[in-house]
Amino acid sequence: MSRLRSTINLAPVAYHLARIRRRERLGHAEQLRLQSLLLRGLVRHAYDNVPHYRRVLTPALVGGLRTAHDLAGFPVLDRVDLHNASAGGELLASGFTAGNTRAATTSGSSGIPITIRNSERDLGYLRATYLQDILTSGLRPTDRIAYFRVNPFLRHPLERLGVLRNFHIPTGRPLDEQVAAFLSARPTFLVGFPNVISSIVEELQRRGIRYQGVRTVLFGGERLTPTARAHLLAYFGAAHREVYASVEVFTIARTCPEGTMHLRSADLVVEVEHADGTVSVEDGEGDILVTRLHSEAMPLIRYRLGDRVRISPNDCPCGVARTPILREVVGRDQDRISGADGRRYYGDFITYAVQDFPEVNRMQLIQRRPGAIEVLVVLTEGARLGVPADIERAVRRKAPGLDVAVRQVREITPEANGKIKIVKVLAPSGAPSADTPSTEKGHVADV
């Protein structure tokens, strides 16, 4: 097995990038043919080399696999299962250890942290995927890229020549340090959680600083209210794109020039598990299951990411991406609201009722006990006094069975990874529920 490097090796990145770009130009049917080929190879590798899959799969399942539709008979890998199996080394393939793989760990800010291990070959593909994300978003070789994230990352040799220079904005540090890092970097291309970037914009404005160098903002990891998004982009005078990604499975979907979020069918399998227990491939609304097709060190087959999504066939006029469309990430499994009668449901229909108010800059729904929610809102400057009461009435109309309280605040405290949880369900102790692990969305740290 190859040893890990202390700097990014550009040769495999360039090789994989060329393959990714070529595949993404294929028609959807051809991408699915390639997907099936890669899927069969991945499953065979997992069964032959990974203790966990040797235990849970059978020769009949492995031998009968032809396309992604055949995965319906395979077991699902939950986050708790992943945490337990990876801790015991059961998900590492033969020949891979902590010494020849690099760990990527989610923040675990609301539950159990997840650690994924990637080989040097896995990392080459990962880096190429993320490079393609920013290239398709309009990146230029001379851009100065600011990554808003907790951890720093490896450098690459072209930075010495002034090409694709990367700058770390440490989101785990106080706001003053983040602003100082931002101004020192003089970035032209931003990548990160939108609420983190929005906080820096607000602080720059408070100081009377007009920063005009940013051309493009690539959002990922959380939702921003329409008011805050428009304010951020207007401040920079920048265009924007968006990715849907996770530490565990790389980039799942990205926006095209039309702003439509397309699945990456040639590099992963996306299934949708519906409320009635049935499963469809790349279609419908339900819990998302993802199989990452390029993963030799720690294969993840039918991994339940914890998000509820809505996917539909491609009707985008862009002519660039040809895959189905991720219409919406409806909500996270651990962010389901509990009613007084014990029912649990996704709170997104409430959050959209809140963000429909143009005065709402940031928001957060907190549930401390079943049947009750507290809505925190940060309002725009000069918002009328009656907005909180209007929001409360709107939420009560959407959720008449809930005890609703709306509270205007000056700021909303982000999680340890710098992002703001839109829906936050707390245990009676005031901490996030321990049986609801979370996935940090966005680009992987330490790549």
| Least confident stretch, 106-110, 200-204, 217-221, 384-388 | 106-110
Instruction: Give span(s): CATH 3.40.50.980, the chain.
Output: 136-243
3-class DSSP state of 245: strand
Instruction: Give span(s): CATH 3.30.70.1350, the chain.
Output: 339-411
**pLDDT tens figures, 93-145:** 999 998 999 988 765 544 567 889 999 999 999 999 999 999 999 999 999 99
Tally helices (H) and strands (E) across the chain: 11, 20
How would residue 418 be classed by pLDDT, with cut points 50, 70 and 90?
A: confident
Q: Are strands 144-149 and 165-170 parallel, antiparallel or unpaired?
A: parallel
Average pLDDT over residues 23-47: 97
Is residue 9 predicted with pLDDT exceeding 90?
Answer: no
Is residue 429 predicted with pLDDT exceeding 60?
Answer: no
User: Long-range contacts: 80-86, Cβ < 8 Å, 24+?
Assistant: 80/112, 80/435, 80/437, 82/114, 82/248, 82/300, 82/303, 83/112, 83/113, 83/114, 83/437, 85/52, 86/114, 86/115, 86/116, 86/117, 86/298
Q: Check residue 72 and report its DSSP letter.
A: G
Interatomic CA distance for residues 225 and 310, integer angstroms: 19
3-state secondary structure 107-173: CCCCCCCCEEEECHHHHHHHHHHHHHHHHCCCCCCCCEEEEEECCCCCCCHHHHHCCCEEEEEECCC
Query: Minimal CA–CA distance to 103: which of 122, 116, 90, 86?
Result: 116
Domain 136-243 bears CATH identifier 3.40.47.10: no
- Whether this prediction's pTM lies above 0.75 is answered by yes
Which residues are within 8 A (CB) of 349 and not within 5 positions of it... i.e. 6 or more apart? 398, 399
Query: Minimal CA–CA distance to 255: which of 297, 218, 293, 202?
Result: 218
Interatomic CA distance for residues 75 and 13, integer angstroms: 33
Contact 407, 377 (CB under 8 A): yes
User: Long-range contacts: 165-173, Cβ < 8 Å, 24+?
Assistant: 169/196, 169/200, 171/196, 171/414, 171/417, 171/418, 172/416, 172/417, 172/418
Is residue 438 predicted with pLDDT exceeding 60?
Answer: no
Which one of 1.20.140.160, 3.40.710.10, 3.40.50.12780, 3.20.20.10 gives the CATH number of domain 10-126+247-332? 3.40.50.12780
- Residue 151 has a pLDDT of 81
**CATH number for the domain formed by residue range(s) 339-411:** 3.30.70.1350
Within 10 angstroms of residue 330's Cβ, the number of other Cβ atoms is: 17
Query: Minimal CA–CA distance to 190: which of 264, 253, 126, 241?
Result: 241
How would residue 374 be classed by pLDDT, with cut points 50, 70 and 90?
A: very high
Radius of gyration of the CA atoms of the chain, in A? 22
**pLDDT tens figures, 298-345:** 999 999 988 889 999 999 999 889 999 999 887 666 667 888 888 887
Q: Using CA of residue 16, residue 18, residue 24, residue 27, what is the dihedral sign?
A: negative
Instruction: Give span(s): CATH 3.40.50.12780, the chain.
Output: 10-126+247-332
**pLDDT tens figures, 133-181:** 999 999 999 999 999 988 887 888 889 888 999 999 998 888 899 999 9
Which residues are within 8 A (CB) of 446 and not within 5 positions of it... i.e. 6 or more apart? 102, 103, 104, 151, 152, 153, 154
